[in-house]
Structure 1
Amino acid sequence: MLKRSRSVVAAATLAVVLALGACESAPSGPGDEPQPKANGATGTTAGSGGPGVVAPGKPGEPARTLSPEEAAKAVPPDTPNAADFMYTQMMIVHHGQALEMTALAPKQAASAQVKALAARIAAAQQPEIGAMRGWLKSNGGPRAQTGHDHGTMPGMATKTQLAQLRAARGAAFDQLFLTLMIVHHEGAVSMATEVLSQGNNVQVEEMANDVIAQQTAEINRMRSM
């Protein structure tokens, strides 16, 4: 009797499981509403006759559901824009002047701290120039810029100031180098901050964030020196 009772219970349980499985796998009828997706989209967009297209957003931004017409016109989220090209091209020149200034330190600076700082700046910015040149090459090369003069970039030392730095020696060089380089770094941070709000490319955004973090720390170090 005990074995028979267990068999009856098992058979009943199996029947319930099969019934539930059939309900879950039953196809939707013609009048059934589409089930919402995890992000709230139903797979179609208002006013369109076809399925929606999920367009990924930038890092930290949610995806959007576009109509087929909107998707055809949409720009991929990582496509470089004019601000990205302008930033990389101008920052190559900006970094280049920093290397010109740091090259003077080994022979003209009096302070070992200034010499070490100049070496660190050069060691960081030379690879950054290479990375930005590589980015430009990968994205079709430099673009013509209108309305922007490299000489008016924030933080750039004038020809007169560079001549004074080349002529300075000892403590006078140290003082002028730190003064000019602080302003130079502040200009680079300003440019990097601007491209973060106006650019569209993730790789450029990463390079700009590196500039902000590194050069802000160096500004504080130079001020204390």
Structure 2
Amino acid sequence: MKWLCVVCVLLVAGCGRSEPAAVAPDHAGHQTAQPVVGDNAFNPTDLAWLQLMIPMDEQLLRVLDLAARHTVDPELRRLAAGTANDRRAELARLKALRAKAKAPTANQHAGHDMPGMMTEPEVVALSNTRGAAFDRLFAKNLREHAELSIVVAKSVATAGKHPEVKSLAASIVETRTAQLTLLPPK
């Protein structure tokens, strides 16, 4: 159900608008997408996706860094190291696109409990876990991150507008799909 909510937010952000979007504060001071004019401008789906993927990747990097010290499985350790390198490069691209869109840098998803983005208590619990128990939790969380990333990246393919955002989303679908084949079975 949580996945459906995330996808709905991204799709609704892009539905019913053909004009580009920028970001402006709403009546409560939160940043929301607002129309602007310009070539290759970002639409609300592009902005929502960038603002979701950045904290997802930032949180995942914390978890990936734990694997070097906590896992007993050498394959998971190698997967975590390679994935961390990939996510750091991806995160740089996401942040560059967010800056290009002039979107707010505040994490609008802080405290949200959804698959693919671990909560702070879950990260702390994982950091206190070692060995085979860590490996199971780590693989579960890496799988959830990959699966949610694929779902929301696919929404950008249909509802997004900015060519660089759509290209990065397509790349994420490919890399996450490949990553799922490297994880231990559920």
The aligned residue for residue 161 of structure 1 is 122
1:130 corresponds to which of 74, 92, 99: 92
1:164 is displaced (CA, Å) by: 2.3
Is the Cα contact below 8 Å between 1:105 and 1:118 reproduced in 2?
yes
The one-letter code sitting in structure 1 at the alignment partner of 2:77 is K
1:202 corresponds to which of 156, 163, 180: 163
The aligned residue for residue 11 of structure 1 is none
Is the Cα contact below 8 Å between 2:50 and 2:98 reproduced in 1?
yes
Tell whether 2:125 aligns with 1:170. no
1:169/1:207 CA distance change after superposition, 3 Å: same
Gaps of 5+ in 2: 1-36
C-alpha separation between the residues in 2 aligned to 1:149 and 1:95?
12
- 3-state secondary structure, aligned to 2:184: helix
Q: Who wins on radius of gyration, i.e. which is larger? A: 1
Q: Deviations over 1:9-31 (max 9, x none)?
A: xxxxxxxxxxxxxxxxxxxxxxx
C-alpha separation between the residues in 2 aligned to 1:97 and 1:174?
17
Is the Cα contact below 8 Å between 1:87 and 1:191 reproduced in 2?
yes
1:183 is displaced (CA, Å) by: 0.8
1:100/1:115 CA distance change after superposition, 3 Å: same
2:73 corresponds to which of 94, 97, 111: 111
Q: TM-score, normalised by structure 1?
A: 0.60
1:171 is displaced (CA, Å) by: 1.4
Q: Deviations over 1:40-62 (max 9, x none)?
A: xxxxxxxxxxxxxxxxxxxxxxx
Higher relative contact order (CA 8 A, sep 6+): 2
Tell whether 2:119 aligns with 1:181. no
Gaps of 5+ in 1: 1-74
Q: Deviations over 1:94-150 (max 9, x none)?
A: 1011101001011111011011010011100111111111112223343899xx745
- 3-state secondary structure, aligned to 1:223: coil
1:190 is displaced (CA, Å) by: 1.1
C-alpha separation between the residues in 2 aligned to 1:164 and 1:172?
11
Q: TM-score, normalised by structure 2?
A: 0.72
C-alpha separation between the residues in 1 aligned to 2:173 and 2:121?
27
C-alpha separation between the residues in 2 aligned to 1:127 and 1:90?
16
The aligned residue for residue 182 of structure 2 is 221
> 1:69-80 residue pairs with structure 2 within 5 A?
78-80=40-42
C-alpha separation between the residues in 2 aligned to 1:144 and 1:160?
20
1:158 is displaced (CA, Å) by: 2.9
